[in-house]
Chains A and B, each alone.
Chain A
Amino acid sequence: MKSTFRIGGVHPHDNKQYSVHQPITVCPLPAKAIIPLVQHIGAPAQAVVEKGQKVKVGALIAKAGGFVSANIHAPFSGTITKIDTTIDAWGMKMPAIFMDVEGDEWLEGIDTSDTIVRGCNLEPKVIIEKVQEAGIVGLGGACFPTHVKLMPPPGKVAEVLIVNGVECEPYLTCDHQLMLEKGEEIIIGIQILMRALNIQKAIIGIEANKPDAIKHMSALASKVLGIEVKALKLKYPQGGEKQLIDACIRRQVPSGALPIEVGAVVDNVATIYAVYEAVQKNKPLISRVMTVTGKSVVKPGNYDVRFGTPLTDVVALAGGVPEDTGKVIGGGPMMGRAMSNIDMPTNKRVSGLLFLPEAESMRQELTNCVRCGKCVGACPMGLEPWLLSKQAWHSMWDEMEDHNIMDCIECGCCQFTCPSHLPLLDYVRMGKAKVGGLIRARQAANK
């Protein structure tokens, strides 16, 4: 009997057929690269290079700007041309390092071969240092710095590592392909993290629509003590941290708390692959696998892209922007955001690029709320989206806080399920940002 999380959830069509089983293609190096300094949640990184400086691949170019922040390394070898601002996917300015790419010369000490390095006898502390040094962030989408997760606050003990191979977001297939191609590395990565956290148990959660990945990972995991593969029933948003914990170990994270509260640490398979590379091969996080997909895309597939490559290069590799495109979404269709500018560099955050045809891209006409309660039933966090959206509309921030707006994971189930096509998530998201700001201001004032 396959398990799943208990509250809410929806069943969008997974549409993975376009890019599934497409082998990971390495994207060629661009001539010029722009490396954003904000590629993670938390403080922006501080550039440590100067104009005109020559760097090799893997060299540190920007230092973490705080504990919750991440290092950024040079993805190419070349010359730094300037440190300026560039335009992000939504037209806003972001600081970035500009460089002329001159080649692919790696820093000494980085193992660039394909041989798999097994066995790790490093101290937990050293492992965490290496992860921090390599600038690894959660590649599932939130980009939360991984080293923070590996250091549980005092008094909290990690009991189980949950590996997120769910990829519940429709269209995206990069994690699936990564599990098929780099399964062994991922298993080693899991062992490294188990060592770092000093735990004996890991569960890999994979949704039932990836039977080959379940089989492959189960075969690999059976050789290792303590790692178990759990096939999960298909339901969105199973890839959400709290949902995955519920699905895998039947524990519910209390409102406002982190997964460590129930003894769990959750990491995405792509993150774990990055951990393997960082610890075993000294390779910092400079590339990721992203999916370029859509109904009319000529060559949909999974591409291994170095950060800083212009997104347009990746699109060209996939056959260019389809003519009937009405909307380009960064990420998947449920949680991703429509982009107004695709002339931007790739970064740790971009897990996919989805081209929606014009006919499917626009929202449907709104009607009034019919009080059917579907959004309440669909919300995986047990909130009342219709009420929260109304409160946001009336700027009732205190009331929103009382109704646990901060628990919202912005999964979009409410809006997906709404028969009146109301923009529930738009309001909830805006309200969450407002309330979050008020809470931070209050904490700052109380200090």
Chain B
Amino acid sequence: MNLIVISLLILGVTGLVAAVLLYIVAQKFKVEEDPRIDEVQDALPGANCGGCGYAGCRAFAEGCVKADSLDGLLCPVGGAPTMTKVGEILGMAVVAAEPKVAVVRCNGTCEARPRTSVYDGAKSCQIMHSCYVGETACPFGCLGCGDCVSACDFDAIHMNPATGLPEVDDEKCTSCGKCVKACPRNIIELRKKGPKSRRIVVMCVNKDKGAVARKACTNACIGCSKCQKVCEFDAITIENNLAYIDYNKCRLCRKCEDQCPTGAIHVVNFPPRKPKAEPAAAPVQNSSKAQSAVQDGSKLSSEKTTLNNVEQPLNNVEPKNEETKA
């Protein structure tokens, strides 16, 4: 009995002394930390992708709390809803940033870009890019080894075995920009997602002269500046034989698409144009172009379906990979 009392007493006293010590130490060496950092961190998605430019969600939260305003601070994964929450916590106004999406600006499909050599080195775009021009004659286009696919943390980008090009899943893409950094040829760009994901993009980055570019790839932008002339909003610039559409100026009128002789301008997620084809027949000179536009439209709608069904081709890819590995 005595033994139990003594041991209880000793333990109790030790505990009490330790508690007092710990309390004093905790008071004396207290680290002042803004409690809002924790709150902001809780509001963030916690993907730690680094897309915001900070080393992770915690660092971004600290950055937000320290900053005077939330301008230029954006969590690409959470987007506007997350930033509004962060703004509420910090009592700062948030300018709603347009959601962006990664766009692979190359449409050099297997048919358009004939293979000129076979690469059998290490399967990495970066290595292939440092070795030579690539399996096709285009020194700017996609190399197809999938560095962007392995860089993506969100399973949003996949190779399409039919075209040999990576395709971005709009739904999953958080525009963190990892694929942009991974691509050694700077083909991928973060562009405004657009209303209902509708956007118009020049799907080419070839800066060669028209004839050279066309020889390497039938879908290449040849810098003919037809699209620039037809654009009413000054959205299109031509530099180094390459057209570029400024997504902030583009009003999605689709006029440039009809003008493009090589089909390098892609319109994405637009409904197919049916009624417009008929009145377009009235001006005689445009009839053939209108037809080609219709064809392009049908091509696009088929593209759209492949875009939406990314999982299907994916299923086809995986077993193939296993075969090659085995």
A-to-B contact residues, CB < 8 Å: 89-93, 337, 340-341, 362-363, 393, 423, 426-427, 429-430, 433
Contacts and interface: CB of A to CB of B under 8 A. Distances in A.
Nearest to B137: A91
Given A340-B117, A427-B127, A90 B132 contact: yes
Interface in B114-128: 116-117, 120-122, 124, 126-127
B122 A92 contact: no
Contacts, number: 43
B130 A430 contact: yes
B87 interface: no
A92 B121 CA distance: 18
A90 B132 CA distance: 5
A93 B134 CA distance: 13
Sorted nearest first, the 10 A-B pairs with minimum C-beta distance are A91-B133, A90-B132, A423-B122, A426-B122, A340-B117, A430-B127, A426-B127, A363-B120, A426-B121, A430-B130
B139 A93 contact: yes
- Of B117, B120, B122, B134, the most chain A CB neighbours within 10 A belong to B122
B131 interface: yes
A393 B145 CA distance: 14
Given A90-B132, A426-B124, 13 more contacts: A90-B133, A91-B132, A91-B133, A92-B133, A92-B139, A93-B139, A337-B132, A340-B117, A363-B120, A363-B121, A423-B122, A426-B121, A429-B127
Contacts of B124: 393, 426-427, 430
A312 B132 CA distance: 20
A362 B117 CA distance: 12
Chain B interface secondary structure, helix, strand, loop or mixed?
Answer: loop
Contacts of B132: 89-92, 337, 340
B133 A362 contact: no
Contacts of A429: 127, 130
Contacts of A92: 132-133, 139
A118 to B, nearest CB: 46
A8 to B, nearest CB: 22
A341 B132 CA distance: 10
A363 B120 CA distance: 7
A292 B167 CA distance: 44
B60 to A, nearest CB: 22
26 contacts: A89-B132, A90-B131, A90-B133, A91-B116, A91-B132, A91-B134, A92-B132, A337-B132, A340-B116, A340-B117, A340-B132, A340-B133, A363-B120, A363-B121, A393-B124, A423-B121, A426-B121, A426-B122, A426-B124, A426-B127, A426-B131, A427-B122, A427-B124, A427-B127, A429-B130, A430-B124
Nearest to A89: B132
A433 B130 contact: yes
Interface in B94-134: 116-117, 120-122, 124, 126-127, 130-134
Contacts of B133: 90-92, 340
B139 to A, nearest CB: 6
B265 to A, nearest CB: 26
A89 B116 CA distance: 13
B180 to A, nearest CB: 15
Contacts of A341: 116
Nearest to B117: A340
Contacts of A393: 124
Interface in B31-47: none
Contacts of A362: 120
Nearest to A389: B122
